[in-house]
Structure 1
Amino acid sequence: MQQDHISFSTHGRAGLVLLDRPRALNALSAEMAAALRDQLDLWAADSAIGHVVMAGSEPRAFCAGGDVRDLHAIAENGEFARMKTHFKAEYRSHLAVYEFPKPIISLADGITMGGGAGLMQCSTHAIVSDTTRFAMPESAIGLFPDAGASVFLGRCQRPVALFLGLTGHIIGGADCLMLGLANAMVPADSMTALRQALLDCDSADIDSVIDSFRADPGAAPLQAQRATIDHIFGDHVFTGQGIAAMRDRAGDLARLKGNSLAEAIHTALSTRCPMSMHVFARLVEMGPGIADIPAALALDYHLAIRMTERPDFREGVRAVLIEKSNDAVWQPSRLEDVTDSMIDAVFDPAGLPDL
């Protein structure tokens, strides 16, 4: 079955979901998300389908996330009812992947970011390659790492979760594997063959098929950077104006030691949306109290509505994605000016619909 930018087909006992919007790096529109959920509901009830493979139509991207350009247009027009519908479709598609009663294998080759990372993490099997580029970059555009990130990044050690969520740092397949964000790494030039093998195999043989393609990921670059990450994002600085303290610690390390990662962290914490970073920091604090992916998605839905009602989202998309001027003027503009009451208001679900 062919929908706009997403197709579904069956191959023996396997279903194939192909994200096919290459000009937008397979960004997930509300229509694509709704179609995905509907098809998974059909396959869940179909005894002829034993497992599902999800992939991008070409190797440059698995999925770059939600369709933020469409969201920006909706926000600019003040169509907040449509905004709620958009987020509901996206998060319900993630929920459908997570709750699907049969194995779902995501072949996360190339760009896998934001909502695309969420799809990967909601699958039973997340397969990466040497070209995977995984990130949660939402704080650059006035949103926050969503799609269940409070749970799946929360499985990383706290300094790493803060590092990835606050800075939007891009990691590769080896790092994903080391952090428990992927089940296996396969060479990029073997991904097409793996997809075909998974479509041809019996559902009981999924793991052995993946193992037959598995490659040694080599050293994980993040491992060599852990001392810097722990120094900047360790629990000992996560008090009060913690993110500002992290920024200053990164700046000191960059200046005194010439540490390039610290310099990049300092730049990110100095330029990304202060409200977005504080919202994610609150999510990290709440982490143990967020039971699972469904609970995280329900919370994300409320937070996404609140955050896109604020001017930061429209400003961030303008500056980063539309004009590419990188001159966003945030409200408030400084980390130090974000108060607990501001964050409390974003987390207040009063008057908001449930997912």
Structure 2
Amino acid sequence: MTDSHAASRVLVRTEGALGRLTLNRPEAINALDVEMIQALTAALNAWRDDTDVQIVLLDGAGGRGMCAGGDVRALHAQIVAGQAEQTAEFFRAEYALNAMIAEYPKPVVAFADGITMGGGIGLAGHAAIRIVTERSQLAMPETRIGFTPDVGGTWLLGRAPGRLGEYFGLTGAVMNGADAVYLGFADHYVPSERLEALSEALAFRADPTGPSEIVLLFDETPEPSQLPASREWIDEAFSAPTVSEIIERLQAQGTTDAAATADLLEGLAPTGLTVTLDAVREARDLPGLRAALEGEYRRVMWFVNEHPDLVEGIRAQIVDKDRNPKWDPPTLAELTPDAGAPARAYVPQPALF
């Protein structure tokens, strides 16, 4: 890809005091490739000591969503071609960017409008001010392709109320804007029709009011999330020690929602579910985002180098689209005891940080 092509996929400009970064790959709902990650990183590095840029705004072009995630079709092609080194380069660059956003010395504001999933959560979820709208659809859907949440998703999931982190991590369920605020994936709810006015206020407001105070002028109270009403059955089931026991508890509850969740889990990759449960619970006890990213990197590179389910999941869902993955092993009963241990203990080279 040429530099100009890469640059066109990330629009970098300044407006008043605002540095604006817009993902510009709308035909793929702004799915991230390594060149886009590098362009975002370069812009943030350039603005770090630029006194004219006081706030950074991150959003996506096209109206369908901020970012649908990483380019998993390209990931599949790399792994099948035996290019694991390039895959590792992508993840290292992506996770370094996630950490940079979280640690950036200037406020980063993210508009998680529309679809914001996977790698999109890695950008928006660690910003200082995270904004959702009535169109927001947030998720960490990695288990749907036999994989495990990454980009710091386990850090966010591990801090969600009760056992909702396990629920959303294992099922890949979609949160609306109100859900995202309740879960700790977002801070403010702003109607999509007001985002343009908000960006202008952030760029050109003359007084020294901070960005959080500016956002509050546009913040509205959404319709309440339905998640608190579901906490009892979710917490009871998803506090079980293993995925098999979670499913057993769901089946024993005898409700429509619990039964549907059990059926969903039984169709997903046993290994991916087990590794994900282990990862979310590990992240809950870690000291910070970087430690969670390191745990995710171990597991992700284990899937890339050691286990077939990631390639098979992408093939079935995205490449061939037959929706008929052949998981290895196909059932939870066939997993070895502590099946998450190999991924947890994997030592990727080179190291992440």
TM-score (normalised: structure 2): 0.93
Q: Which moved more, 1:261-270 or 1:26-35?
A: 261-270
Q: Any conservation in 2 of the 1:16–1:199 contact (CA below 8 Å)?
A: no
Q: Secondary structure at the match of 1:328?
A: coil
In the alignment, what sits opposite 2:52?
A: 48
Q: Secondary structure at the match of 1:157?
A: coil
1:1-355 alignment to 2 at 5 Å? 3-201=7-205, 204-233=209-238, 235=239, 237-238=240-241, 242-253=242-253, 256-257=254-255, 259=256, 261-309=257-305, 310-340=307-337, 342-350=339-347, 352-355=349-352
The alpha-carbon deviation at position 200 of structure 1 amounts to 2.2
Q: Any conservation in 2 of the 1:139–1:276 contact (CA below 8 Å)?
A: yes
The alpha-carbon deviation at position 274 of structure 1 amounts to 1.2
Q: Which moved more, 1:313-322 or 1:192-201?
A: 192-201
Root-mean-square deviation (Å):
1.7
> CA offsets, 1:3-47, max 9 Å, x none?
041111011211000011111111111110111111101111212
Identity %: 32
The alpha-carbon deviation at position 216 of structure 1 amounts to 1.1
AA aligned opposite 1:217: P
Q: Secondary structure at the match of 1:225?
A: helix
AA aligned opposite 1:285: R
> CA offsets, 1:110-145, max 9 Å, x none?
001111112112100000011110111001112101
Partners of 2:209 and 2:298 lie apart in 1 by: 39
> CA offsets, 1:184-234, max 9 Å, x none?
10112222222222222366431222111111112112122222212321x
Q: Which runs of 5+ in 2 are unaligned?
A: none
Q: Which moved more, 1:197-206 or 1:262-271?
A: 197-206
Q: Secondary structure at the match of 1:122?
A: coil
Q: 1:204 to 1:337 in 2, by over 3 A?
A: farther
Partners of 2:148 and 2:347 lie apart in 1 by: 20
Q: Which moved more, 1:163-172 or 1:81-90?
A: 81-90
Q: Any conservation in 1 of the 2:162–2:231 contact (CA below 8 Å)?
A: no
AA aligned opposite 1:225: S
The alpha-carbon deviation at position 85 of structure 1 amounts to 1.0
The alpha-carbon deviation at position 320 of structure 1 amounts to 1.0
TM-score (normalised: structure 1): 0.92
Partners of 1:154 and 1:342 lie apart in 2 by: 20
AA aligned opposite 2:322: S
Q: Any conservation in 1 of the 2:298–2:348 contact (CA below 8 Å)?
A: no
Partners of 2:145 and 2:314 lie apart in 1 by: 5
Q: Any conservation in 2 of the 1:66–1:90 contact (CA below 8 Å)?
A: no
The alpha-carbon deviation at position 65 of structure 1 amounts to 1.1
The alpha-carbon deviation at position 351 of structure 1 amounts to 5.2
Q: Any conservation in 2 of the 1:51–1:103 contact (CA below 8 Å)?
A: yes
Q: Which runs of 5+ in 1 are unaligned?
A: none
> CA offsets, 1:137-191, max 9 Å, x none?
0011121011112211111134101100000010100111122221110112222
Q: Which moved more, 1:332-341 or 1:204-213?
A: 332-341
Partners of 1:352 and 1:275 lie apart in 2 by: 22
Q: 1:9 to 1:351 in 2, by over 3 A?
A: closer
Structure 1 outlier segments of 4+, above 6 Å: none
Partners of 2:107 and 2:209 lie apart in 1 by: 10
AA aligned opposite 1:142: G
Q: Which moved more, 1:120-129 or 1:153-162?
A: 153-162
Partners of 1:318 and 1:201 lie apart in 2 by: 49
The alpha-carbon deviation at position 324 of structure 1 amounts to 2.2
AA aligned opposite 1:215: E
Partners of 1:264 and 1:29 lie apart in 2 by: 34
Q: Any conservation in 1 of the 2:130–2:187 contact (CA below 8 Å)?
A: yes
